[in-house]
Amino acid sequence: MANPEHMEMQQNIENYRTTAGVDSVQLVDREAKAHLESYSTAVKHYEADDFEQAVKHFEKALREYFNEDVECRALCEGPQRFEEYEYLGYKAGLYETIADHYMQVLVCQHECVRELATRPGRLSPFENFLPLHYDYLQFAYYRVGEYVKALECAKAYVLFHADDADMLDNVDYYESLLEDGMDPASVEPREDAAMFVKRHELEAELIKSAAEGLGFSYTEPNYWIRYGGRQDENRVPSGVNVEESEVYGLSVGKKLSSKIDRDLTEGGPLLYENVTFVYNSEQLNGTQRVLLDNVLSEEQCRELHSVARGIMLIGDGYRGKTSPHTPNEKFEGATVLKALKFGYEGRVPLKSARLFYDVSEKARKIVESYFMLNSTLYFSYTHLVCRTALSGETSRCTLHPSPHGSLSEQLSLHCCSALLYMNDDFEGGEFIFTEMDAKTVTASIKPKCGRMISFSSGGENPHGVRAVTRGQRCAVALWFTLDPLYRELERIKADEVIAILDREQQGKRELSVNPKDEL
């Protein structure tokens, strides 16, 4: 319950349940918190577009939250001990000691914001947890026609984030929906939120003042980080809905990981007319990630899939191993140079072998442009790879390094990576991003023809692939570097062959090198 995406523990629970012969409904979470359970139920209703039930459960979650807040603050009324104090040398007077104790109680009460936003068993809280209730409610009330309540909730959210442009637009929009003659200024932020924020701000000022007078260090945390904002198409009700995507498992309230030294700037042009943007790194719960569609056409996917069957060798690119990452699947692959070689030998159409080269180059240009790189992006490895489910094997999720070793270990070698998918007629095989524990999934992406995921190749983006349980999953895997010293040697040879092909097609046949000899 604390780590719902922890795949290994999910399997353990299922094994225990089966062995014990009990149903899932008989398993009880004895540490569940009522306000967190109501919040989760409300989110599920919201995501199912059942806004009446969502309103009901979000309101219930808020009542339970404030009740729990009273209990949490009461539990702070007891012995306190600042870890930074050296109590053997503590020589405060009576009044100073009383003030010191009271401030410790107040700091404890102030921290109830984190306590109530943290699931049992977790170390870190949901970011932006309390404001999210009002964020969800403002849109849910709007959808059920309760415009005054929607405006109250939107104004309540602004109390936490006064500069949130989207929510300020929502406030204006809801005000325009009010009945004629009704003064928008008469609609105040919700009282529960207003009282909570006022108390919280006064406490912060008091603690800050006391810290200066009593000589202890205190820095007010940012309790309302907006990384926890909703990432759905209902963010701005007056805006245009985002086209539905096939990206699953996006976690509400997942904090972005810290920036790395060689930041990639996002948002550059996609260069090609048909390529469509799906999600950026924030919507994929991480940093320096992007998901795009229509990088390949249906016809190109079919042609690549066809040529793959003619050029792949078992385990190629993984030191010849049949199943380099998992015993549940068979791996087959081929490089660009091998594809061109097979094309010249007539084992596959040369045009199709050339397509493998061209689409990988197209992907490189898109990545270079979208991440707005100021220097040339080079290939460090290009691999057409297929994973085929083996019958009779147990399904597992595999997280694995690249053929060159861990992408997170050699930042000078790899800049970023991309995976360009060719098909979706299989089961399993979702691409996943995880937390650093390599088990807690933060985003899961369903492959399909023409879909491309790209991301920086450092330790900030642990990733893997769920096992293919039926059929065959094929993709073009690409690793890039900014250092020309680490360019892929086979790619350099392939570039030379392509240059010769281009000259042949232009009728320039004064060649000193036979392209077949080059291969």
The total of structural domains in the chain comes to 2
Is the model's pTM score more than 0.75? no
Secondary structure class of 167 (helix, strand, coil): helix
What single string gives the DSSP state of each residue in 194-230?
HHHHHHHHHHHHHHHHHHHHHT-------TT-GGGS-
**Is 75 inside any structural domain?**
yes
The last residue of a domain, from among 166, 188, 214: 214
**Is 399 inside any structural domain?**
no
Dihedral of alpha carbons 168, 173, 177, 179, sign: positive
- Between CA 381 and CA 361 the distance in angstroms is 12
- Between CA 156 and CA 190 the distance in angstroms is 6
Asked whether the beta carbons of 19 and 136 are under 8 A apart, the reply is no
139 and 280 belong to one structural domain: no
Q: What is the CATH number of the domain that holds 481?
A: 2.60.120.620
> How many residues are present in the chain?
519
Asked whether the beta carbons of 476 and 356 are under 8 A apart, the reply is yes
353 and 209 belong to one structural domain: no
* Phi, psi (deg, nearest 5) at residue 159: -60, -35
The last residue of a domain, from among 198, 214, 230: 214
196 and 291 belong to one structural domain: no
295 vs 264, 382, 412, CA distance in Å? 21, 17, 28
**Is 257 inside any structural domain?**
no
283 and 208 belong to one structural domain: no
475 and 375 belong to one structural domain: yes
- Between CA 443 and CA 463 the distance in angstroms is 9
298 and 204 belong to one structural domain: no
Q: What confidence score (pLDDT) does residue 320 get? A: 47
Angle, alpha carbons 24-26-27 (nearest 5°): 70
Asked whether the beta carbons of 264 and 371 are under 8 A apart, the reply is yes
Asked whether the beta carbons of 442 and 433 are under 8 A apart, the reply is yes
Asked whether the beta carbons of 347 and 306 are under 8 A apart, the reply is no
383 and 473 belong to one structural domain: yes
**Is 509 inside any structural domain?**
no
Q: What does each of the 519 residues of the chain score in pLDDT, given as a tens digit?
A: 776 656 678 788 888 989 999 988 888 888 899 999 999 999 999 989 999 999 999 999 999 999 999 999 999 988 776 555 555 566 667 887 788 888 889 989 999 999 999 888 776 788 789 999 999 999 999 999 999 999 999 999 999 999 888 899 999 999 999 998 899 999 999 999 999 999 999 999 999 888 888 777 777 877 876 554 565 545 555 433 333 334 433 433 333 333 334 567 888 999 999 999 999 998 998 889 999 999 999 999 999 998 888 887 665 554 445 554 556 778 888 888 889 988 888 888 999 999 999 999 999 999 999 999 878 899 988 889 999 887 654 445 555 433 233 323 333 456 899 999 999 999 999 999 988 766 788 899 999 999 999 999 877 888 888 889 899 999 999 999 887 777 888 888 889 888 888 887 776 555 555 655 555
Asked whether the beta carbons of 385 and 317 are under 8 A apart, the reply is yes
Q: What confidence score (pLDDT) does residue 347 get? A: 87
Asked whether the beta carbons of 73 and 109 are under 8 A apart, the reply is yes
Question: Would you put residue 306 in left (φ > 0), alpha (ψ -120 to 50) or beta?
Answer: alpha
Active site residues: 473
Range of the domain at 453: 276-390+406-502
**Is 395 inside any structural domain?**
no
187 and 336 belong to one structural domain: no
295 and 208 belong to one structural domain: no
338 and 414 belong to one structural domain: yes
**Is 10 inside any structural domain?**
no
191 and 280 belong to one structural domain: no
- Between CA 1 and CA 440 the distance in angstroms is 12
27 vs 5, 8, 13, CA distance in Å? 18, 18, 10
- Between CA 468 and CA 449 the distance in angstroms is 16
**Residue 246 CA to its chain's centroid (Å):** 14
What single string gives the DSSP state of each residue in 341-383?
HHHHTTSS-HHHHHHHHHHHHHHHHHHHHHTT-SS--EEEEEE
Asked whether the beta carbons of 430 and 444 are under 8 A apart, the reply is yes
The last residue of a domain, from among 196, 214, 232: 214
Asked whether the beta carbons of 178 and 184 are under 8 A apart, the reply is yes
**Is 3 inside any structural domain?**
no
**Is 513 inside any structural domain?**
no
Residue 478 DSSP label: E
201 and 286 belong to one structural domain: no
Q: What confidence score (pLDDT) does residue 514 get? A: 60
